[in-house]
Amino acid sequence: MTYTLGSYAPPPSVWEELKQELKAVAPELGIDDIGFASAEPFQSLKGILQSHRDKGFESGFEEPDLDKRVTPALPGTEPKSLIAIAITYHSKMENPPKSEPGKYRGIMARSAWGRDYHHVLREAMSRLEAYIKERVPDAELESMVDTGALVDRAVSQRAGIGFSAKNCAIISPKFGSWIFLGEMVTNIPFPPDTPITEDCGECTKCIDACPTGALVGPGQLNAQRCVSFLTQTKGFLDEEAMRKIGNRLYGCDTCQIVCPKNRGKSWTHQEDFKPDPEKAKPLLLPILDMSNREFKETFGDTSAAWRGRKPIQRNAVIALGNFKDISAVPKLSEVLLKDPRPELRGTAAWALGRIGGEEALNNLEKSMKSEGDSQVRDMLQQALNKLKPEQAGNEAPAQAQAAAEASSAGVPGSSNGGNPEQESSVIQGVEPMAIPEGGPEMLYYDEVQSPIGPLTVCATEKGLCLIEFGSFYVKEAVIQQWSRTWAGNGGYQRDEARLAPAITQLKQYFAGELKAFDVQLDMRGTSFQLQVWEALKSIPYGTVCSYKDVAESIGRPKAVRAVGGANNKNPVPIIVPCHRVVGTDGALIGYAGGPEIKRTLLTIEGAMPDRKGS
């Protein structure tokens, strides 16, 4: 059946029927969700966008005309409605390759796994357009994917695809935020759908976990600080940005990984987005040898290629520096001495300064004799100052005075007294970093399978510091946040030998063969938390007590709720037995791993409490 627009247009019920038909056929067109909205201008959004611009928060990739961003338009006719679509993408990778000494890997954001989503979305929109045209031949349709003028998140929210979250993503109640968005403007008067009323509530996990504090408030993103944006820029990056980028080659998923709304949501039916592990987590050193042609052959079909080879290669250099990969020194030295691009040479100087060693020092000094670019020379000097601190005193007096003034004034982003290892503690949305004596510390980790699922076990040089419920791949963002907060963001690496004693004891515990752990701990928290965690260690195997009992044992009988909070934040569960603390009625409450894991642990110990009144 076909419909005609115009003076003899069919009644509204017909457009409702067509809308329902499109919703039913959407999966056949490769679309996971579809919603409809009015084409009225997004008037309130304009003020928000203007404020965003005035504060300098834009990335520069946006449409510069704010009226176009908030006003749906169709050439030659009046728009009557908007159609929003969502397509899910993969958020997990089967058997992801792991970094090893000398074979370190970078990571692409999940939005860059598989085929370039722009192509996939455009193909889906084209199929949708063709389907509509068959039924409404004189319909006017204009599709947009990411690069269109309209704000796709605003369209999707109005059309009921999801709600706008504190991390600035659209979160679908069904699919989470692992969705790509597209929109279509049409002169068909489709009845609008109802927007989603769900929201983030009091949760601020995304804001707390943002590596650079780019989420300056709920739904407020300073793109200039966002790691995802920084990885796509082409110029020089500052010290803080390079350290926070870690081993990311393109994009950043941290705010989505930590989001509770994404918990348990993993979608794999869109084959176009199935990750190739060697593209999604590529070896770093080979990237530096790629020609433009080789780069296009390897990454050209992904969304990570749109900015070209240089940002990816620069980010690979940064990652090697953050890994402190001594085996990369020859290649980084080659980049430093021979690459024609100043940004690559300067970044290589920074990376060599991070890695250190005689070979790195010699090549930095050699480059300093011939380097002509002033910014590269500045980065060379900073690297040399790290490796030869006695030369740092040659800094110009004016520069030293400016650094001192910035430090004393507490200026965000200042160098904190000229110490390049210490990052600002006043960045909004980021917990103050505790720089340990001696500088940032490396975090070592390994994984163990258990009856409660995979566990990631972490240690510093001083002892076991963290046990996370889940694999390292899943918990990477949480571990990174802990490292930033308590260990100076010194990076992390897998070390099976170092973690072997702890993992052996965990296996014995789960087998019922061990009742008391004997491992060196390095627990870091507030003084109150440390006091509570120390009390937990004294709870015997096979017994339980209440939060009130713990509060009384530390001489704080009225601090029951605070004890519960500290119990929940115990960084070394199982070994420090916070699972042995239950409600006064025996309820399995207040456990970070959830009641089922708590139940399993107490069952292993034969300590399941009887519920009062049951």
Catalytic (active-site) positions: 578
| Other Cβ atoms within 10 Å of 275 Cβ, number | 22
**Per the structure block, which two tokens stand in for 349?**
């100087």
Helix axes 527-536, 560-568, angle to 10 degrees: 80
Q: Which two tokens stand for residue 428?
A: 């909004």
Q: Do 191 and 37 touch, CB atoms closer than 8 A? A: no
User: Is 446 within 8 Å of 496 (Cβ atoms)?
Assistant: yes
Terminal CA-to-CA distance of the chain, rounded, Å? Answer: 63
Whole-angstrom distance, CA of residue 331 vs CA of residue 93: 29
Q: CB under 8 Å to 380, separation ≥6 — which residues?
A: 346, 349, 364, 367, 368, 371
Do the Cβ atoms of 401 and 415 come closer than 8 Å?
no
Q: Report CA dihedral (101, 572, 452, 456) to the nearest 10 degrees.
A: -10
> How far is residue 277 from each of residues 97, 272, 328, measured CA to CA in Å?
7, 14, 22
**Vertex 63 angle, CA 114 and 156, to 5°:** 60
Copy the structure tokens of residue 434. Answer: 């505790």
Distance CA 408, CA 260 (A): 39
Q: What is the DSSP letter of 339?
A: -
The answer to whether 62 and 146 have CB atoms below 8 angstroms apart is no
Say if CB 32 and CB 268 are below 8 A apart. no
**If residue 333 lies in a helix (H) or strand (E), which one and from where to where?**
helix 329-338
Is 421 in contact with 324 (CB distance < 8 Å)? no
Torsions phi, psi for 268 (to 5 deg): -125, 5
